[in-house]
Amino acid sequence: MLIGFIFLMPIIVFYSSFAWGYVATVIYSWFILPLFPNLPLFTWLQFAGIMIFVNCFVKPSINNIKKEYKDEQANWTSILLNPWLALLAAWILHLFY
Quick check: is 78 in a domain? yes
Quick check: is 64 in a domain? no
pTM of the model: 0.78
The domain in which residue 24 lies consists of 2-59+72-96
Q: How far apart are CA 25 and CA 90, in angstroms?
A: 12
Q: How far apart are CA 24 and CA 27, in angstroms?
A: 5
Per the structure, how many domains does the chain have? 1
Quick check: is 38 in a domain? yes
Quick check: is 10 in a domain? yes
Spatial contact of 16 and 56, defined as CB atoms under 8 Å apart: no
Quick check: is 65 in a domain? no
Write out pLDDT tens, residues 6-54: 888 888 888 988 899 999 999 999 999 999 999 999 998 899 888 888 8
